[in-house]
Amino acid sequence: MVGALYAAEGTPAGALEAVAREFSPRIEVCGSPSAGERREVTLDLSGVERLFGNGHDIAAAIRATAADRDLRVRVAIAGTRTAARLLVHFRAGVTVIEPGTEASSLAPLPLALLAVLRTNDSNDSNASNELLLTLRRWGLRTLGEFVALPPADVAARLGQEGVRWQRLAAGDDPLPLVPSVPEERFEQALDLEWPIDGLEPLSFVLGRLMEPLERHLERRDRGAAVLHLRLHLVKNTDGTRPVHERTLQLPTPIRDARTLRTLALLDLESHPPAAAIDRVVVAVDPTPARIVQYSLITRPLPSPEQISTLMARLHALMGDGRCGAPATVDSWQPGAFALRPFAPNVNDLNDANDSNNSSAPILAVRRFRLPIPARVHVDAGKPARVTTDRRGLGGGRVEQCAGPWRTSGVWWEESDREWDRDEWDVTLADGATYRVFRERDSNHWFLEGVID
């Protein structure tokens, strides 16, 4: 047995859902929440008869509960969700039909009621409009007349979509009721009897709050994507209570209480509160928990909790914007790169292993942190001999060379990022290959890196 509730226009958001949850934990909100169309709710009434009686008693109790909250609602109870929705849109007040009589009860209803079963998909809405227009051209006016048509003929003329709508007109459910999960807040708060000052006493408070938060996330199979920390400070002399807020973007879904507490404390070391704390609030933005599938082939990686804690310690030691993984940028500037969050994954590691195992040769330039000054003898416009005073680096006659590649940039602004140089790749007599360049404004030569 399924019930349907339809509220009058202007009903407060969530009020109709609250009434439905008084009678069943399995409810489905119809309509698009983004468009504000939450005036219709269907609820599963299986087993509710033991508490409230038959269908008429249940409908009367629902209407009485809604009236106590100043809500004007229609109530329909039937054996299927589709029949209950059609009836609640057609008849005001209370409508109760026995299970198994849906087709006969819906037969006299107008055909235009099928429009209330439209989904949120605009394509499906357009298809239903065309279907209703076609049925009116056939001279059909009621749901019973549509149901009486032979299904084979309907399929031949309207396709399987027409057969689906014919079953809806008979009150059949194409899909089971999908319960709407109430919105949950993953938040913990604690009012302190005495204000605390310092991270050491705060760590005990955070541990007490993170443990129930971890259990809540585990029960819902969720992980924390964003960690919010709100510290209510003691009152100022003017009577205001400042709030110290911090937000941490986590690289992966995490729900380990110790890891979350460590990340919060490391962040507060760099951004301490300005006064003593008398209330602590911890909240997270939940996301589906990650699924870890280990393999005997791929190389194991550290857990995200370990990586997040390590990166938080490095950020606290080195400062924001100084830790991460290098990423290429769209620039010709030598040595230009950017930092992105360090978050390795198994796919990147597998791609690296595949590239290392491939038979195709791979060339890489091992750049020196600072270019090494060199002396280059030029013959006929090409490097003929390269020498340097740096220990461990070879020098000698140039066997092969390629270049020059002239690059320049940022000459339009006065900064230390300006460059103008000619680059060469040279192979010396000892077999070593280097990348050398000449600064055109000073005519000085440098070794940029070793080519492997």
pLDDT in tens, 368-391: 888 889 998 888 888 889 888 888
Average pLDDT over residues 67-77: 86
Q: Say if 315 falls within a structural domain.
A: no
Reading the block at residue 388, the tokens are 């340097």
Phi, psi (deg, nearest 5) at residue 418? -70, 140
Which residue blocks in 252-378 are alpha helix, DSSP H?
Answer: 257-270, 304-318, 346-357
Q: Say if 313 falls within a structural domain.
A: no
Three-state DSSP string of 347-363: HHHHHHHHHHHCCCCCC
Q: Do 63 and 120 belong to one domain?
A: yes
For residue 110, the 8-state DSSP code is B
Q: What is each CA distance from 302 to 221, 264, 354, 440, in whole angstroms?
A: 22, 20, 20, 47
Phi, psi (deg, nearest 5) at residue 62? -65, -45
> In the prediction, which pLDDT does 98 show?
87
Neighbouring residues of 55: CB distance < 8 A, sequence distance ≥ 6 = 1, 45, 49, 77, 96, 98
Q: Do 432 and 347 belong to one domain?
A: no
> In the prediction, which pLDDT does 122 show?
41
Reading the block at residue 143, the tokens are 């749901």
> In the prediction, which pLDDT does 269 show?
86
Q: Do 143 and 201 belong to one domain?
A: no
CATH classification of the domain holding 258:
3.30.1490.100
Helix, strand, coil share (%) of the chain residues, nearest 5: 35, 30, 35
Q: Say if 346 falls within a structural domain.
A: yes
pLDDT in tens, 252-261: 788 889 889 9
Distance (Å, whole) CA 304 – CA 327: 20
> In the prediction, which pLDDT does 317 show?
77
Q: Do 260 and 337 belong to one domain?
A: no
> In the prediction, which pLDDT does 125 show?
57
**Residue reference for tokens 């940029």:** 448
Distance (Å, whole) CA 371 – CA 300: 36
Q: Do 373 and 351 belong to one domain?
A: no
Distance (Å, whole) CA 235 – CA 279: 12
Q: Do 258 and 144 belong to one domain?
A: no
Which residue blocks in 35-148 are alpha helix, DSSP H?
Answer: 49-52, 55-68, 81-90, 102-106, 122-137, 143-147
pTM metric for this prediction = 0.49
- For residue 40, give the nearest of 15, 65, 68, 63 by alpha carbon: 15
pLDDT in tens, 31-71: 655 444 557 888 888 888 888 888 888 888 888 888 888 88
Distance (Å, whole) CA 56 – CA 45: 12
- At residue 169, what is the residue type? A
Average pLDDT over residues 441-447: 88
Is the per-residue pLDDT at 347 higher than 60? no
Q: Say if 177 falls within a structural domain.
A: no
* Choice among 137-146, 302-311, 349-358 with the minimum mean pLDDT: 349-358
The 3-state DSSP class for residue 67 equals helix
Q: Do 353 and 263 belong to one domain?
A: no
The 3-state DSSP class for residue 166 equals helix
Task: With beta carbons less than 8 A apart as the criterion, state whether 384 and 398 touch.
Answer: yes
- For residue 30, give the nearest of 110, 98, 116, 97 by alpha carbon: 116
More confident residue, 169 or 345: 169
Distance (Å, whole) CA 304 – CA 252: 7
Q: Do 140 and 37 belong to one domain?
A: yes
Is the per-residue pLDDT at 245 higher than 60? yes
Q: Do 223 and 255 belong to one domain?
A: yes
Q: Say if 106 falls within a structural domain.
A: yes
Is the per-residue pLDDT at 230 higher than 90? yes
Domain count of the chain? Answer: 4
Task: With beta carbons less than 8 A apart as the criterion, state whether 118 and 130 touch.
Answer: no
Pairing relation of β-strands 94-96 and 73-78? Answer: parallel
More confident residue, 353 or 329: 329
CATH classification of the domain holding 133:
3.30.70.270
Average pLDDT over residues 118-139: 69
Q: Say if 317 falls within a structural domain.
A: no
Q: Which residues span the domain enclosing 347?
A: 327-357
Q: Say if 306 falls within a structural domain.
A: no
> In the prediction, which pLDDT does 228 show?
94
Q: Say if 399 falls within a structural domain.
A: yes
Q: Which of 335, 357, 379 is the last residue of a domain?
A: 357
Q: What band does 121 get if pLDDT is binned at 50, 70 and 90?
A: very low
How many other CB atoms are found less than 10 A from the CB of residue 86?
27
Average pLDDT along the chain: 81
Q: Which of 174-178, 298-302, 398-402, 417-421 has the highest mean pLDDT?
A: 398-402
Q: What band does 100 get if pLDDT is binned at 50, 70 and 90?
A: confident
Distance (Å, whole) CA 372 – CA 350: 35
Distance (Å, whole) CA 367 – CA 12: 65
Is the per-residue pLDDT at 13 higher than 70? no
Reading the block at residue 139, the tokens are 């001279």
Rg, Å, the chain Cα set: 36
For residue 247, the 8-state DSSP code is E
Q: Do 154 and 240 belong to one domain?
A: no
Q: Do 385 and 342 belong to one domain?
A: no
Task: With beta carbons less than 8 A apart as the criterion, state whether 255 and 214 touch.
Answer: yes
Average pLDDT over residues 397-403: 87
Q: Do 197 and 88 belong to one domain?
A: no
pLDDT in tens, 155-202: 898 888 888 888 888 888 888 887 777 677 889 999 988 888 888 889
The 3-state DSSP class for residue 264 equals helix
